Amino acid sequence: MIKNILNNKKYLFLIILCLSLTSIYLLYRIQTKTINETESTEMQNIPIQTIPTVHHEIDLNVQIPIFMYHYIEIVKDKNDTIRQTLAISPSIFELQIQTLLKNGYTFIMAKDIGKALNGTLKLPQKPFLLTFDDGHWDLDTDVLPILKKYNIKATAYIISGFIGRSDFLSQKQLDDVVKSGLIEIGVHTVHHVSLKGKLQPIVQMEVAQSKKTLEDLTHIPIVSFAYPNGSFDDLTLSEVNQAGFQTAVSTIPGITVTQNNKFFLYRVRPGNRTGEALITYLKNIKDKKTN
């Protein structure tokens, strides 16, 4: 009978076809199993810290006025013209705060913008950021009392290498500011160096070392950066990103915050405007075209 079947070409063809299909099926099963096991093994072998954090980058496009201040004080030396230009008296500063509160603004910190950009915080209706550059002593003696009076937040960008120098915050004053919980400490490099055009090791040191020093001093993660003199280039942006900052402020005038400009957020100077003049000024801020 077998001989008959083998002699019949039709049967032979069917047998070969069945054997081929069975082989293909078995091969498919083996291969699929191997792929699955390989994947699960690789996942188990990845150290937990190398699994990238899932950031939900939000398609944010929001208007956040960011005011840039340097000195809030009454300048005693009338011949110090640079300081006269950069300083705002505490009473004018307080009037500005009153104006902004009356107009429904809510004060946030720079790190809140970082959180909003990665989807972990919802910003208030009319967010507003007050920033103070350099870390002068008046941050503790003049700014902090006014922020405390109105219970409002701000961000100060500190030059890490200048702490304790005359004209700058002492370590004790810095502790005072940190303890208040109202002022976020950001970084403004180690030596207040204009970073545009500098060699990579210099940029990296100024950006990363200042972060580390301030983290060691404050025991708080530092995530916000400000460019000295608003000076940066592509290398600077990359180093700021790599060092782990979430945002950086520039001196480019404007008001809009998006994912695209998170490392060169726009800022404006309020001058001595208060009341209606300040509100009109805010309404007329336009983003400077950067490219």
Residues contributing to the site for Zn ion (CB under 5 A): 133-134, 228
What residue number has its CB nearest to Zn ion? Answer: 133
Asked if 183 and 153 touch (Cβ cutoff 8 Å), the reply is yes
Least Cβ distance, residue 58 to Zn ion (angstroms): 30
Residues 6+ apart with CB under 8 A from 91: none
* Dihedral angle sign, alpha carbons of residues 183, 65, 232, 81: negative
**Residue that is written with structure tokens 């790599």 in the block:** 242
Least Cβ distance, residue 159 to Zn ion (angstroms): 7
Least Cβ distance, residue 154 to Zn ion (angstroms): 16
Least Cβ distance, residue 229 to Zn ion (angstroms): 7
Q: How far apart are CA 273 and CA 280, in angstroms?
A: 10
Question: Toward Zn ion, which CB reaches closer, 15 or 82?
Answer: 82
Question: Toward Zn ion, which CB reaches closer, 105 or 227?
Answer: 227
Question: Toward Zn ion, which CB reaches closer, 187 or 257?
Answer: 187
3-state secondary structure (DSSP) of residue 185: strand
Q: How far apart are CA 222 and CA 214, in angstroms?
A: 7
Residues 6+ apart with CB under 8 A from 263: 225, 237, 240, 241, 245, 247, 248
Q: If you write DSSP's letter for every residue of 17-45 in order, what string do you get?
A: HHHHHHHHHHHHHHHHHHHHHHHHHHHHH
**Residue that is written with structure tokens 């490099």 in the block:** 189
Least Cβ distance, residue 210 to Zn ion (angstroms): 12
Question: Toward Zn ion, which CB reaches closer, 99 or 155?
Answer: 155
Which of 186, 111, 107 minimizes the C-alpha distance to 152? 107
Question: Toward Zn ion, which CB reaches closer, 250 or 274?
Answer: 250
Question: Toward Zn ion, which CB reaches closer, 127 or 228?
Answer: 228
Least Cβ distance, residue 163 to Zn ion (angstroms): 14
Question: Toward Zn ion, which CB reaches closer, 222 or 282?
Answer: 222
Q: How far apart are CA 34 and CA 56, in angstroms?
A: 33
Q: How far apart are CA 222 and CA 186, in angstroms?
A: 6
Asked if 162 and 192 touch (Cβ cutoff 8 Å), the reply is yes
Least Cβ distance, residue 245 to Zn ion (angstroms): 16
Least Cβ distance, residue 194 to Zn ion (angstroms): 10
Helices within the chain (DSSP H only): 2-7, 9-45, 81-86, 90-102, 110-117, 138, 144-150, 171-180, 200-204, 210-218, 234-242, 275-283
Question: Toward Zn ion, which CB reaches closer, 228 or 254?
Answer: 228
